[in-house]
Amino acid sequence: MSRKLRMGLVGGSAGSFIGRIHRIAAELDGEAQLVCGAFSSDAARSRAAGEAYHVEPSRAYASYFEMFEQERQLPASERMDFVAIVTPNHVHYEPARLALENGFHVVIDKPMCFSMEQALSLQKIVAQTKNILAVTYTYSGYPMVKEAKALIAAGRIGTLRKIYVEYPQGWLSTAVEGKGQRQAQWRTDPDRSGAGGAIGDIGTHAAHLAEYVSGLRITGINAVLTAVVAGRRLDDDSAIILRFDNGASGVLTATQVAAGEENNLRIRIYGEKGGLDWQQVEPNSLTLRFLNEPAQTLRAGWGYLSPEATEYSRTPAGHPEGYLEAFANIYAAFFRAVRAHASGKDVGAARCDFPDVDAGVRGMAFIDAALRSAQSDQKWTSFL
């Protein structure tokens, strides 16, 4: 299948930040091309978006129903291969289900859907259809995150003891949802976002990162969720003490009211022999500490990195890659899985390392457990 994969979009019309990002990420390595979309449920807006994306007018659809229907009937040499769903959370499940059932692979923004029920349903459909579903837990796509995971798996810092993951943002410090900020509107609206606010929007990123890098599973949650800004119906702030399956403990904080902060996801993990530290705003560095040695700063692009990190780098050291490239790495792994699915050839798990439907289910379960814990007077709520 030496050709570009053909991509469709659900969502992504004018004003959508994440739609453009998915397009860039999917096309970055020259392995895919956006060919169609149901960019908006408003036909005119969808057409306008199609034009902006330089998509053929006939393939700018007015609904995802129409898109799946039409694309399904195109010859295999033209037909969309996969769809990326970039709508608010309440419009994740239905298009994903339909896409899978119509034979398309799916990329979906996190959190995977609106409720735990939907998540489990999608998991079943993926198992039945054997199509591939990826959830864009973007931050696990960074090369130095892969390196951190590889170092831990290789035992470099010993048995893990402590995991600190924090995710401060400041953009919801005031009630911007009341001032026309569209990103804020749906995220603070339980009808579109689901039962979790910050916990669903960014807490789930943090939880995924913690489990992904550590290789551990969260088993206990002691959560305090707060709606700090007056009048807000969903949490905009969370602090959670964690227990992991190997006995390690941790702390997860995710807040959108840290005034002045950008998007400073950071993870620090300590084991018996050392620790590591990674921050998303300077993603090409990974600090590694040991008990009685100088700290080391590992940097993307060097020959001393693991194959896992090297696989997901495009530039030599000192030519920084960023968020879009991390996003593209999720797609790159997804594409290898899609091509393997078509060819029937196994390409190895490491090369297809992306968050799949199980990661999506686990993310929804995390939100669910955090919300249950937050409502409980008991210190600990068990998680799965």
Residue 120 or 239 with smaller CB distance to a copy of itself: 239
What whole-number distance in Å separates Cα of residue 285 and Cα of residue 242? 26
Residue from 294, 345, 348, 349 touching a copy of itself (CB under 8 A): that is 294
Q: Which is nearer to a copy of itself, 94 or 261 (CB)?
A: 261
**272-239-260 Cα angle (round to 5):** 105
Determine if 111 is a binding residue for a copy of itself (CB under 8 A).
no
Residues numbered 127 to 166 that lie near a copy of itself (CB under 8 A) are 157-158, 161-162, 164, 166
308 contributes a contact to a copy of itself by CB under 8 A? no
Q: Which residue has the tokens 């010859």?
A: 75
Q: Phi then psi for 248, rounded to 5 degrees?
A: -65, 160
Closest CA to 25 of 34, 35, 16: 34
CB of 329 to a copy of itself, least distance (A): 13
Q: Specify the residue for token string 């939907």.
A: 118
What would the x/- binding string for a copy of itself be over residues 252 to 291, using CB under 8 A?
A: -x-x-xxxxxxxx---x-xxxxxx----xxxxx---xxxx
Residues 318-357 that bind a copy of itself (CB under 8 A): 318-325
Sequence-separated (6 or more) residues with CB below 8 Å from residue 293: none
Residue 122 C-beta: closest distance to a copy of itself, Å: 27
Which token pair is 103? 């034979």
Q: Select from 297, 343, 382, 384 the one that contacts a copy of itself (CB under 8 A).
A: 297
Nearest alpha-carbon partner for 37 in 57, 21, 17:
57
Strand order in the sheet with 218-226: 285-290, 274-279, 266-271, 160-168, 249-255, 237-244, 218-226, 381-382
Considering only the stretches 99-107, 210-218, 302-310, 354-362, report the one whose residues sit in contact with a copy of itself under the rule CB under 8 A: 302-310
For residue 177, the minimal CB distance to a copy of itself (Å) is 15
Closest approach of a copy of itself to the CB of residue 134, in Å: 19
E strand or H helix that includes residue 253: strand 249-255
Rounded to 5°, the CA angle 109-111-117 comes to: 120
Contact (CB, 8 A) for 147 and 306: yes
**In the structure encoding, which two tokens stand for residue 321, read together?**
């890659």
301 contacts a copy of itself (rule: CB under 8 A)? yes
Compose the 209-248 pattern: x for residues touching a copy of itself by CB under 8 A, - for all others.
-------------x-x-x-x--------x-x-x-------
- Take residue 88 and report the two structure tokens written for it: 């608010």
Site string for a copy of itself, 55-84 (x = CB under 8 A): ------------------------------
Given a contact cutoff of 8 angstroms between Cβ atoms, the answer to whether 226 and 378 are in contact is no
Is residue 29 at the binding interface for a copy of itself, with CB under 8 A as the rule? yes
User: Is 379 a binder of a copy of itself (CB under 8 A)?
Assistant: yes
Which is closer to a copy of itself, CB of 283 or CB of 355?
Answer: 283
Subset of 166-185 contacting a copy of itself (CB under 8 A): 166, 168-170, 173-174
Which residue among 249, 350, 351, 372 contacts a copy of itself (CB under 8 A)?
A: 249
Among 23, 146, 336, 339, binds a copy of itself (CB under 8 A): 23
For the record, the structure tokens of 34 come out as: 């956006």
Min dist CB 28 to a copy of itself, Å, is 6
Q: Which residues contact 296 (CB under 8 A, 6 or more apart)?
A: 287, 288, 289
Q: Strand, helix or coil at 72?
A: helix
Count of residues near a copy of itself by CB under 8 A: 93
